[in-house]
């Protein structure tokens, strides 16, 4: 029996917690360490933390911040951002990071996935695929470097390549839906579920708890991640860290037999 995994995704920019829309328009949300402490009390399944300024600024992850987060975190921690060599991955794992998410480097140096999976195990390596749906043709393409560069690679082709290299999980993000709270890109999710018989976590556009239930019922069990709905509340998007109660989560992510 498997259950859909429900994971808040936190974005860090220059040490602060932010929320983006379409990978742009970053809004300050608060302090990442305090937010992790609140999520501890809400018993979340897993937390994903992505430093969106590390690779852009050509720097390593903030190891001090990650160490502080890891020491406080009482849930599995997945971290991505500024990862471009095996040494960095080993350092993150030594700090208590259970999963290392590789984004830009997965496209620039896919051998890093192979090296890392052989060293720390494929279960600890997540490949990030940021997907942009073109405006007119609706063609899907993979972007990297915070959505700035086009890989010219189809997302399914990229996923299969990363799986072959040894990634234990694929995190697929919709750039078009990111932060809009208009709902997940169901066509994108369906494409991955139908073509990738592998652990997949989807991210981008969650509009409500009911939206999560719809995705879980239609495509689960899988990983479902979200940002805005777990940090904002109300039509004015007031900052309020939240997560479903145990009963709510059981309703949203029903256990089912693996298909």
Inter-residue contact 100 to 80 (CB < 8 Å): yes
Tokens of 26: 């970053």
Which residues pair with residue 28 across a beta bridge? Answer: 18
Task: Kindly state the tokens that stand for 209.
Answer: 């708890």
Exactly one of 130, 150, 217, 257 is catalytic; name it: 130
Task: Write the CB contacts of 194 (distance below 8 Å, at least 6 apart in sequence).
Answer: none
217 in catalytic set:
no
Across 67-110, the runs of DSSP E, i.e. the strands, are 77-80, 99-102
Q: Is the peptide bond before 221 cis (omega within 30 degrees of 0)?
A: yes
Structure token pair of residue 84: 């471009």
Q: How far apart are CA 61 and CA 244, in angstroms?
A: 30
Q: Which tokens hold the place of 258?
A: 């693996």
Q: Which residues are catalytic?
A: 130
């Amino acid at each position: 029996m498997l259950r859909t995994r429900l994971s808040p995704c936190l974005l860090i920019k220059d040490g602060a917690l932010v929320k983006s829309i379409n990978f742009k328009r970053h809004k300050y949300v608060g302090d990442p360490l305090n937010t992790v402490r609140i999520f501890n009390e809400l018993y979340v399944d897993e937390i994903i933390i992505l430093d969106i300024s590390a690779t852009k600024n050509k720097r390593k992850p903030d190891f001090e911040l990650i160490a502080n987060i890891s020491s406080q975190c009482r849930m599995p921690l997945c971290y991505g951002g500024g990862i471009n060599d095996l040494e960095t991955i080993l350092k993150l794992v030594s700090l208590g990071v259970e999963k290392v998410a590789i984004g830009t480097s997965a496209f620039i140096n896919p051998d890093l996935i192979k090296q890392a999976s052989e060293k720390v195990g494929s279960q600890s390596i997540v490949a990030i695929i940021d997907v942009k749906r073109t405006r007119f043709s609706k063609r899907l393409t993979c972007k990297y470097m915070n959505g700035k560069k086009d890989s010219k690679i189809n997302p399914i082709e990229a996923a299969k390549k990363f799986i072959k290299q040894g990634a234990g999980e694929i995190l697929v993000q919709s750039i078009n839906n990111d932060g809009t709270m208009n709902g997940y890109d169901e066509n994108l999710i369906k494409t991955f579920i139908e073509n990738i018989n592998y652990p997949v976590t989807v991210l981008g556009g969650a509009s409500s708890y009911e939206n999560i239930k719809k995705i879980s019922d239609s495509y689960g069990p899988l990983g479902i991640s979200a940002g805005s709905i777990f940090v904002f509340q109300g039509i004015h998007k007031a900052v309020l860290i939240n997560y479903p109660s145990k009963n709510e989560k059981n309703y949203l992510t029903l256990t089912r037999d693996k298909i």
